[in-house]
């Protein structure tokens, strides 16, 4: 890892390492040796990948003597609920700025968890004339100002926990995965790691981890987009990777050509179910007893199943699917296709 990684503040919030699980029937379906990295069993809240990012963010928040943690996301944000859980664990107050409207009398999924955690929730609907991200960032700054007026100190975490600091969490994860592969499968020489891509932070962290890793096997990282414009995601990923590498103490850089994103499984957009996603959720549950979600992991697995059926995974000694969590989303959205 980079020279700075051991000295950067980090507070342990999860249970590491997460399991690297073999599959039998799903491997047969995909025509490859498929392993599932169970980030959904990370041990914070309802589990998921955001815990790794929060370990760096909240360590910084504590170093700055924050009393309140403010973050933002969609109404059913996994990141928001995990941020609220982490804040509670550390004795801090959580304030969530969520995009959309909700009937607080009929809560489900992540919103139900937010309420149980007694997070302060502000619902907003950005005007058409302003980007969602800019408007939500403005609202977070307003909340932070209000906290300061009351004598507290707020620490703002961006949507998805996605910035250079949060990206470090998946440099750690890639290192952890590499050690597991060396121990469990010492003859592996070529590995594909596949992950859903939303705000790009986890994807960028895995690529950053690959850059600084020194394992006796080759690692390819495939991102599966779940929404948005691919070229924008690629550019954002490059920026995140290079910023994270610099923060980690590495002089290495990546270019746009090194970023691989599969975008054929987006469907109509964020949280919009597709036939392939529904099929992937059912196949994974019925073959391995593992549940995926209809927003992120279902679409990512749909891409892997498609590539497996097309014979595109046979050149790899192992394919690792990063299960980033999101089970509350399955209960909220269901499988309506």
User: Would you state the torsion angle of the CA atoms of residues 204, 209, 211, 215, taken in this order, to the nearest 10 degrees?
Assistant: -150
Compute the distance between CA of residue 289 and CA of residue 152 in angstroms, rounded to an integer. 46
Place of tokens 């979600």: 293
Residue 46 in 3-state DSSP? coil
The answer to whether the CB of 285 falls within 8 A of the CB of 269 is no
Place of tokens 């469907």: 267
Q: Is 77 tagged catalytic?
A: yes
Place of tokens 């859903």: 196
Q: Which two tokens stand for residue 259?
A: 């970023």
Q: Which of 152, 169, 173, 148 minimizes the C-alpha distance to 37?
A: 173
Catalytic, out of 42, 77, 227, 250: 77
Q: What are the distances in angstroms from CA 124 to CA 111, 181, 331?
A: 15, 44, 23
Q: Could you give phi then psi for residue 2, rounded to 5 degrees?
A: -65, 160
260 CB neighbour count, 10 Å cutoff: 15
Compute the distance between CA of residue 99 and CA of residue 138 in angstroms, rounded to an integer. 13
Residue 258 in 3-state DSSP? helix
Compute the distance between CA of residue 256 and CA of residue 236 in angstroms, rounded to an integer. 10
Could you give the residue numbers annotated as active site? 77
């Amino acid at each position: 890892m980079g020279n700075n990684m051991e000295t950067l503040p980090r507070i342990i919030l999860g249970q590491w390492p997460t399991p690297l699980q073999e599959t039998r029937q799903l491997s047969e379906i995909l025509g490859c040796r498929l392993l599932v990295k169970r980030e959904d069993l990370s041990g914070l809240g309802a589990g998921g990948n955001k815990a790794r990012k929060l370990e760096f963010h909240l360590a910084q928040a504590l170093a700055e003597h924050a009393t309140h943690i403010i973050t933002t996301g969609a109404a059913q944000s996994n990141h928001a609920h995990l941020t609220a859980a982490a804040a509670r664990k550390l004795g801090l107050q959580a304030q969530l700025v969520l995009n959309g409207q909700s009937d607080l009398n009929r809560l489900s999924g992540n919103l139900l968890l937010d309420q149980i955690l007694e997070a302060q929730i502000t619902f907003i609907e950005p005007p058409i004339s302003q980007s969602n991200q800019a408007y939500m960032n403005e609202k977070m700054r307003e909340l932070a100002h209000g906290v300061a007026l009351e004598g507290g100190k707020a620490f703002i975490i961006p949507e998805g926990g996605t910035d250079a600091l949060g990206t470090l969490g998946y440099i750690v994860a890639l290192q952890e995965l590499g050690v597991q592969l060396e121990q469990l499968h010492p003859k592996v020489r070529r590995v594909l790691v596949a992950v859903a891509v939303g705000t790009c932070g986890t994807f960028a962290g895995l690529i950053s981890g690959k850059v600084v890793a020194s394992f006796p096997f080759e690692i390819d990282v495939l991102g599966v987009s779940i929404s948005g414009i691919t070229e924008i995601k690629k550019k954002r990923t490059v920026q995140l990777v290079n910023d994270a590498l610099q923060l980690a103490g590495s002089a290495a850089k990546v270019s746009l050509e090194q970023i691989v994103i599969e975008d054929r499984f987006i469907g109509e957009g964020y949280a919009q179910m597709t036939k392939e996603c529904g099929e992937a959720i059912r196949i994974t549950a019925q073959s391995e007893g593992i549940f995926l979600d209809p927003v992120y992991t279902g679409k990512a697995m749909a891409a892997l199943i498609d590539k497996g059926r097309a014979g595109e995974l046979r050149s790899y000694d192992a394919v690792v699917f990063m299960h980033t969590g999101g089970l509350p989303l399955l209960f909220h959205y269901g499988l309506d296709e």
